[in-house]
């Protein structure tokens, strides 16, 4: 299947490994792939722009989500814990970014894809077939992530919602871009 990927989508899949390594992640999930897609000039970044999102903002929001390690500030606040206060205190005692680095080890070598990320890449192939394209580019990977019901897709949906848009807007932007090509 990888042979059907365009240069842009191959670069994004390879860059997702770099994103995961930088985040200290043990595996590559769809958030890593989205950061790479949003950071790589091409059809996926263009579709995000057409949907009212700044690709750089999307990448930074996802990087922040990755850095948080899944810590849910709202859930902690409901328990009376101020995550920002904990973060400030941890930074004061152990140095800047200590909470974000806690429990993470630098990964060397190959970082595996999560089942959700694999599923999203398979769905990208289905999107390319549905749109009658011979190669899988970033637009297809973006659509695959949205179809996969995964962490990255939900994060992207939140970003769209926060910007006043929805998944349908992004799908429309991708398909209009496809028809224009």
Q: Is residue 138 predicted with pLDDT exceeding 70?
A: yes
Q: Is residue 102 predicted with pLDDT exceeding 70?
A: no
Identify the residue with better confidence: 74 or 138. Answer: 138
* Verdict on whether the full-model pTM lies above 0.75: yes
What is the band of 72 on the pLDDT scale with cuts at 50, 70, 90? low
Q: Is residue 105 predicted with pLDDT exceeding 60?
A: no
CA distance 129 to 133: 6
Domain boundaries along the sequence of the chain:
2-66+113-180
In this prediction, residue 180 carries a pLDDT of: 73
What is the band of 81 on the pLDDT scale with cuts at 50, 70, 90? confident
* Mean pLDDT score, 69-97: 76
- Residue pLDDT, tens place only, 146-155: 888 887 788 8
Task: With beta carbons less than 8 A apart as the criterion, state whether 27 and 111 touch.
Answer: yes
Identify the three-state secondary structure at position 5: strand
Top-level class of domain 2-66+113-180: mainly alpha
Q: Which of 55, 58, 62, 70 is nearest to 22 (CA)?
A: 62
**Could you tell me how far CA 116 lies from the centroid of its own chain?**
12
């Amino acid at each position: 299947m990888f042979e059907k990927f365009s240069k842009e989508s191959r670069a994004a899949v390879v860059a997702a490994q770099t994103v995961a390594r930088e985040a200290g992640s043990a595996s590559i999930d769809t958030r890593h792939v989205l950061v790479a897609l949003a950071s790589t000039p091409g059809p996926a970044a263009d579709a995000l722009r057409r949907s009212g999102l700044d690709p750089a903002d999307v990448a930074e929001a996802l990087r922040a989500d990755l850095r948080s390690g899944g810590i849910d500030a709202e859930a902690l606040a409901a328990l009376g814990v101020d995550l920002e206060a904990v973060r400030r205190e941890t930074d004061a005692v152990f140095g800047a970014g200590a909470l974000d680095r806690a429990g993470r080890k630098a990964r060397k070598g190959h970082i595996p894809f999560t089942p959700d990320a694999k599923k999203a890449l398979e769905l990208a192939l289905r999107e390319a077939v549905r749109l009658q394209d011979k190669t899988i580019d970033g637009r297809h990977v973006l659509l695959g992530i949205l179809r996969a019901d995964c962490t990255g897709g939900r994060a992207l949906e939140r970003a769209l919602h926060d910007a006043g848009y929805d998944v349908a807007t992004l799908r429309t932007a991708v398909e209009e871009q496809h028809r224009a090509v």
